[in-house]
Structures are given as structure tokens and as C-alpha cells.
Chain A
Amino acid sequence: AQSVTQPDIHITVSEGASLELRCNYSYGATPYLFWYVQSPGQGLQLLLKYFSGDTLVQGIKGFEAEFKRSQSSFNLRKPSVHWSDAAEYFCAVGAVADTGGFKTIFGAGTRLFVKA
């Protein structure tokens, strides 16, 4: 069965420091991978997505993610974190549903705290 694991429930990073959020997925076919961000009281916003091609994907707000098939991972990175990056981050995989439609499976999320 398809699944997404985000090993870190929460992470605290100092402002200006680098960030890496981990994501591991389980999916038999070529995965469609996504990272979303949820700011407090807001809906989810897409940061970036990967379907094929270059395994290093650039997204909005200075984020990037690297797809590593051998490790079944799709980790999110940012070289220098800003206080406004404090939010919850969700990794997700797109999959074909049993009914033939498409669905998105989300990880449990990682909450990022940024300290001054």
C-alpha cells in the first residue's frame, strides 16, 4: 500500500540556519511527489512537485527538494530559514485510487519552529 512517512514531528531551527525536512514514501510505480506548506489558520499551499526528469526540484519561497529513488526519499531543503517559514510542512505522494481516479496520500506533517 502507498504511504508517506515524515519521521520528524517537529523541528526547531535558528533563523538563518539551513533546513532539511525528511520524507520517505512507499509506492510501487513512479511516484508523483509533492511538498505543501500550511501556515497557521491557512489552507495548504504547494511548494514544489516532482514527476520525472531532474531529481533536484526548485520550488517557491527558496525551497528545493531532491528525489532519491534508491532511498525512497524526497527531502525538502532551504539554505537559510526565515522566521516566516515557521509552519507545518506536508509531504505527499499522488497515486491511482482503487476506483480508477487519482488520490493524494499525505504524511503526518512536520511542524517547523524558527527561533531568533
Chain B
Amino acid sequence: EAQVTQNPRYLITVTGKKLTVTCSQNMNHEYMSWYRQDPGLGLRQIYYSMNVEVTDKGDVPEGYKVSRKEKRNFPLILESPSPNQTSLYFCASSLSGHLTDTQYFGPGTRLTVL
């Protein structure tokens, strides 16, 4: 089944404790992206990757890191999480990243930073 998976689905952590949220897709897509969803703000893009070893900042990249060493994986790293990073995070992928491509979203990761 074609899908985007994220782990963990739920995470509670404390300020400053490094964490990684994994994202994997099995559709051989070139483009992958991370979003955060906050009430009243919709989804905002954090980082995106057009292909392996190619990543770029989205609209809200501060406090996040990403890497794209393999085509299927695009982990989101929070080196020193803070409470304002409490949010619902979505990973997405599309074939090439062109505007006409359909994005496929993962089920989301709900992160709470205490």
C-alpha cells in the first residue's frame, strides 16, 4: 500500500531534550516536506526536500533541522525543543514537487514540549 508513515504518532518531552521524528514514504517520491499545524494558522511549511541531499527552508524553519540521505526517509530533528514547538506535525511527499503534483500526507505526530 502506498503510504507515508511517521513515528512516533504521539510524543511528550521536556525542554532541551533532543528528539527526532521519522518520516518514510514507499512511493519513490522525490519531493518530501514537513509541516506544522497550529489552531487558527493552518499548516505551515518547515522544510522541504526536492531530492536526496537537497533540502531548503520553508516558512518556519527556526529550531528545526532535516536531512535527506535516502530517497524514502526525511527525518525532522529538534535539537533543543521548546514549548513553542508544541504542535501537530505532518510529513508529506509528492512525485517531483511540481505544483501540479498531488501531495500525500502522513497521519501526523502530535508533539508536546513541557
Q: Which residues of A contact B (CB under 8 A)?
A: 4, 6, 9, 32, 41-46, 49, 51, 90, 92, 94-97, 99, 101-109
- Give the dominant DSSP class at A's interface: strand
B59: chain A residues at CB < 8 Å are 103, 105
B41: chain A residues at CB < 8 Å are 108
Select B107's contact among A32, A43, A99, A106, beta carbons within 8 Å: A43
Which chain B residue shows the least CB distance to A94? Answer: B99
In the complex, are the beta carbons of A102 and B105 less than 8 A apart? no
In the complex, are the beta carbons of B97 and A102 less than 8 A apart? yes
- Nearest CB on B from A61, distance (A): 15
Which chain B residue shows the least CB distance to A52? Answer: B100
A103: chain B residues at CB < 8 Å are 33, 45, 48, 58-59
Q: Does B74 contact A (CB under 8 A)?
A: no
A45: chain B residues at CB < 8 Å are 105
Q: Which residues of B contact A (CB under 8 A)?
A: 4, 31, 33, 35, 40-45, 48, 50, 56-59, 90, 92, 97-100, 102-103, 105-108
B44: chain A residues at CB < 8 Å are 106
| Sample of 12 A–B contacts (CB below 8 Å) | A9-B40, A44-B103, A51-B100, A99-B56, A101-B48, A101-B50, A101-B97, A102-B99, A103-B33, A103-B59, A108-B40, A109-B42
6 further A-B pairs in the complex, CB-CB below 8 A; given A103-B33, A109-B42? A49-B102, A94-B100, A95-B99, A101-B48, A101-B50, A104-B45
Select A44's contact among B31, B40, B50, B90, beta carbons within 8 Å: B90
Given contacts A99-B57, A103-B45, A103-B58, contact A43 B100 (CB under 8 A): no
- Nearest CB on B from A86, distance (A): 18
In the complex, are the beta carbons of B42 and A90 less than 8 A apart? yes
In the complex, are the beta carbons of A43 and B105 less than 8 A apart? yes
Give A15 to B96 CA distance when docked, in angstroms.
39
